[in-house]
Structure 1
Amino acid sequence: MRTEFDRELEERLIRYCTIDTQSDEDSKTAPSTARQFDLLNLLVEELRAIGAEEVTLTDYGTVLATVPATAKGPTIGFLAHVDTAPAFNATGVKPRVIRGYNGGPIRFPDAPDLELSPEDSPYLGTRLGHDIITASGTTLLGADDKSGVAVIMAAARHLIANPGIAHGPIRIAFTPDEEIGRGVDPRLANDIQADFAYTLDGGAAGEIEYESFSADGAVVKIEGVSVHPGTAKDKLVNALHLGAKVIATLPQARLTPETTADREGFLMIYEMRGTAAECELRFILRDFELTGLAAKGALLRQVCEAVAATEPRAKVTCEIKPQYRNMRYWLEKDMAPVELAQAACRDLGVEPVSVPIRGGTDGSRLTEMGVPCPNVFTGMQELHGPREWISVQDMALSTRVVLRLVERAAQG
């Protein structure tokens, strides 16, 4: 039987996912795209409508709000990001609901050759009878992380409507640009005013995560020698050829995302752009340990130096910048927020699972800034592509975990 939360979460997720909020790494504004304001402004209106207090849209593009306390307890923050990944089309999202999933393959109306099945998405096979939301096949869905937005909104609405539930102050933050590593402005750690917080940005039911990748980003720029191709013999230095040589020289085995798993890190090129005159290669470097991260940076620099040595007329530079760090370094010193979320799961009959995130969240940055912030599941699966899906019932369970968590915190 569908519950009140099932209906609300389904409606919220569909409403939010139809709004294009894709971020843009090349933009210098905050948020990086004006279209993110379409959802941010809507959330301001919805928060005020449910009775949230201190609703603010900051000048760095984050929506902040408060659910007032009904009892003594710590101030707990809940965060989700509104942007969707630049990696795949997010324009014209058409969410659809497969009710009472029966275990067979799911096909997509706008991409007849595309299929989602338990054979290639095993978690789907465990959600028999659930209501499954996907897009139509030509876009991502955006459950990452609009499912987190929906869960927080549903929990906030429920708490405000039921003041008999004992809880301390609750702070809400909806951030932009998480997918491009800019979700946590340096001012947010102070502005959220929370003793600790949680991102609602996780996967399978029961996952309470306190370990993420440490991450750097790298930009390799290559300047060649531009000459008209008709007179290019012994003169032209093609920057694109040198860029291809950098990629080819990097070892592929056990180093790229498609060849690594579990606790293995990787080095990934995700964009190459330019002309024969000059080109730019963008990489992400990921590892659970700082020594492994440093080794991957050293390898990339070494390859760039080796390729540069083959053509002294070219200029090759490699700039590596930190993005975020493994939140375990701080959370393992005080596991109370993690244990609180785990206990809330157990209270609902769900055995919590803590596995390292092969990625990062706003919580990675916020934890590093001094606000402990583990990650809580929403149910999202197959992210950043056309087969992205989520179970409505998983979102409802996530909402109940949030509600139980804040009650437990007030009990001391």
Structure 2
Amino acid sequence: MKPSVKRGSGELAQFAEAQSALQRIAVLVACGAPEIAVFNAAAKELGQLVGADTANIVRYEADGTATTVAAWSRSGTLFPVGTNMRLEGRNAAALVSRSGRSARMDNYADAPGPIAAVVRAKGIRSSAAAPIFVDGRLWGVVIAATTRHELLAQHAEMRLADYTELIAIAIASAQARTDLAASRARVVIAVDEARRRIERDLHDGVQQRLVALALQLREAEASLPPEMSEVRELLSAVTSGLTGTLDDLRQISRGVHPAILSQDGLRPALRTLARRSPIAVDLSLDLDGRLPEPIEVAAYYVVAEALTNATKHAHASLVHVTAAVWAGRLHLSVRDDGVGGADPARGSGLTGLTDRVEALGGTIMISSPAGQGTHIQVELPLERCN
């Protein structure tokens, strides 16, 4: 085979390999894979693409340091994920940071700085790096390196640069999801704060005035002479109506934002829900101390909505509620023995619960086959709300 044909075949194979790598990364990005999964896959694909022995994706920090966010290696990892070092001296990451352009270093023998010292200690001979720009800002760098005596392929840094746009898309996509989740969480917390203010205003204002009016009517009724029986009956009827209105207001107040939840926490609030439930509730609560307030509120409303549905729609006779914390998450389960058939897609309180749980970074699963009851399972991360 002629050299030109061999060269053409080799270039075609390299192109096909590059496109395959690109497609695998693109699929992860399109599917909304977690940022770390995309980063690790990209580091591996790009490292192998240029024939490197190790590859890292590094984020530039505002304080002049760089943090490794993804690492791949054929043997030992050069800079593990989470490594943070100052961009001092001469190294591929520092060169890109200063110029905003692709760079390579084929000799670290006399390079100054802590990063260069680690590179020498790990036996790195040659490295190539390409910048990652997100929304027009230099976000970080992808670096590929080799421990072999042979240098990285010519223009390896340019080949890396050809594919950093996908990494930038993944970063922008992940940031957008993070921003959206944070925005939803802020909305949920703001709504809960509004509920709390309304509950406080109802309890400390309207309810107290209604109680005072009812007492005044009772006093007026008691002070009437016997011959004014018709007026006494009228006052008694007004007082009874006022008392009923007060009871209704108390129920509304509890539904807006129960004071016991704010004052005493999730365990007492769930016990109160169970006592007030018209159907039997079996509680199993493994909860020690207070949880972050947004988590307690979300869990409370999940149980409250589930009990309401079990009573009004599922015609259940028993509801099992379990709540426990492990592995940094609240695990909540509500299962009834009702008729099933609940469908959040048709629009109901379950839809609102789903929005609330997901806004806090949690997950909710609802199983409600016809005739087999409804089971709601919720997991809520605690650390996100601290």
How does the TM-score come out when normalised to structure 1? 0.18
Query: Which has the bigger relative contact order, CA under 8 A and spacing at least 6?
Result: 1
Structure with more of its chain in helix, by fraction: 2
How does the TM-score come out when normalised to structure 2? 0.19
